[in-house]
A and B are shown apart, each in its own frame.
Chain A
């Protein structure tokens, strides 16, 4: 009996402690609810309603928006967006991992300088930075002129307004978001891990592949999501560097809301994006847990 009373008391104390900690969650939860969950609820509701003539919605239930989204035209746009964003993400990993790895080998004060340099482009407006690529890549641009002057080519190359230009623009814009999480994963690896592998008979290359790389995987996944998510929904880069020819799903969503004034269909497209990204986060969380053994990072 006495024991039961005690455990009840303990539960009460626990509940109070939890409650007082919950207070700190209020600002964050309010923000997420007001600017994220409620708007998402609206979007979700819109998908079942009909379009208004001048934008907005009419309260007539329909599933037509969903059936329309399955049209090969829109599926094609979605697939193309995913492919372009995936290409940018893979390139960001291929280039970003060696950069992050090299930074961890520098003395600590140099590491910090390098990290600042990598973040530095973010201080300039995104639109201006993307515009700069037009100046670099167009037929009269620095790159073409330079190559012609060096005699490498005689005719200017058509570099702009192609999927490749979009990939390049996205890669340039988001590669810091790949480098930073990989760097932070790499620096957290205990140096004795690699030494242990070598001591147990691994060559340096094996130690890297079997120990360093798997332990950096959570950072790689975070980086991949950081690059893929803003890339797949991006509409500025495809607009400027794709010349409006290569439409990505971000352009499509924006056009549905602002040009075609079809809010319900725009909502379906937006929702499909959200669901796809949620699936990605889920996969990332699972891999993370598998690598690290449990919730302790």
Chain B
């Protein structure tokens, strides 16, 4: 697949803050792409720059091999769904959705047809005469979505689209966004700080930190093969043991833990990553500790075991095997399931 949107060496500075530092990402056509990262990582700045609402200090962005940055904001084939939705309160649902088409000076029968179609798609046809203030949060979000996709943009940008919704509506909307993206055949770029959301919704994710792209990968790769300690920590639930490498093991707080085969030199600082589901309770284990707490999550429980490390060790455990709090647990795992990362 060739790249559709090509972001190359993009930088932006606000005073002392480097919001974007030499960011390069290639996004494919019809991809559902997520920009993920903690607040202040530059993901929203990048999104706004793509929409033309923010200027960039340097770098090149091309869309289908054409320069995007020289196109004025109101002429870009890129539409943004705002975090606050930014629906026009003085216009009803229909006029909100038609606003962008009217700016294109399309004839009224085509506008009417397209607005009707899109309102039908998002299930709001019978609300078309209502004002935004008369809608629920989920309905407002659908209007914002309809208003953006009715323009048939090459790329739809979504800024934290689900953050204002409660959990149940959010998971419904995640499904709906996926369906819409599939049906409309539009490239979606979503900005989110919620790694679970990015993991469940996107084809690929760019994880950003302090204005830089740390890793670009599919959700599965991101989880199973994180490039750095930051990625390992940010994505999913993880146990991170920082220590010094010996030969065939890592020394963490005076204990030697087994490691997978590695390129890292003996004696260097490293971090061993173990996912909770890769650790099991057994009769004899690599490490032993006391069960401090167990949190129930429906199908399974997450155990917190004090093994004398800085942090409690998190272990995923089937419901019928949860030991009583205070009992001694022996934890074991296969070294091949663990991941060793350099510790900067």
A residues whose Cβ falls under 8 Å from a Cβ of B: 190, 192-193, 195-203, 206, 210-211, 214-215, 290-294, 296
Contact = CB atoms under 8 A, between A and B. Distances in A.
A193 B52 CA distance: 15
Most chain B C-beta atoms within 10 Å of own C-beta, residue among A198, A200, A201, A290: A200
Interface string B76-107: 00111011101111100000000110011000
Most chain B C-beta atoms within 10 Å of own C-beta, residue among A192, A290, A294: A192
A195 B133 contact: no
B243 interface: no
A130 to B, nearest CB: 39
B73 A198 contact: yes
A294 B103 CA distance: 27
Name the prevailing secondary structure of the A interface residues. helix
B90 A200 contact: no
Nearest to B102: A201
A192 B133 contact: no
Contacts of A192: 82-84, 86
Nearest to A201: B103
Given A293-B90, A293-B133, A294-B131, A200 B53 contact: no
B179 to A, nearest CB: 23
B10 to A, nearest CB: 19
Q: Across chains A and B, which 4 residue pairs bring their CB atoms closest together, nearest first?
A: A293-B131, A200-B100, A201-B103, A196-B86
Given A192-B82, A195-B86, A200-B79, 14 more contacts: A190-B84, A192-B84, A195-B80, A198-B74, A199-B51, A199-B73, A199-B74, A200-B147, A201-B151, A203-B74, A215-B89, A215-B90, A294-B134, A296-B133
Contact of B133 (A193, A199, A210, A292): A292
A27 to B, nearest CB: 32
A199 B83 CA distance: 14
A210 B96 CA distance: 11
A290 B90 CA distance: 7
Contacts of A201: 74-75, 100, 103-104, 151
A215 B73 CA distance: 22
Nearest to B105: A201
B80 A211 contact: no
Interface string B50-79: 011100000000000000000001110011
A190 B87 CA distance: 10
A210 to B, nearest CB: 8
A200 B73 contact: no
Contacts of B37: none
Contacts of A203: 74
Contacts of A199: 51-53, 73-74, 78-80
Contacts of A206: 103
A198 to B, nearest CB: 5
A203 B86 CA distance: 17
A210 B74 CA distance: 15
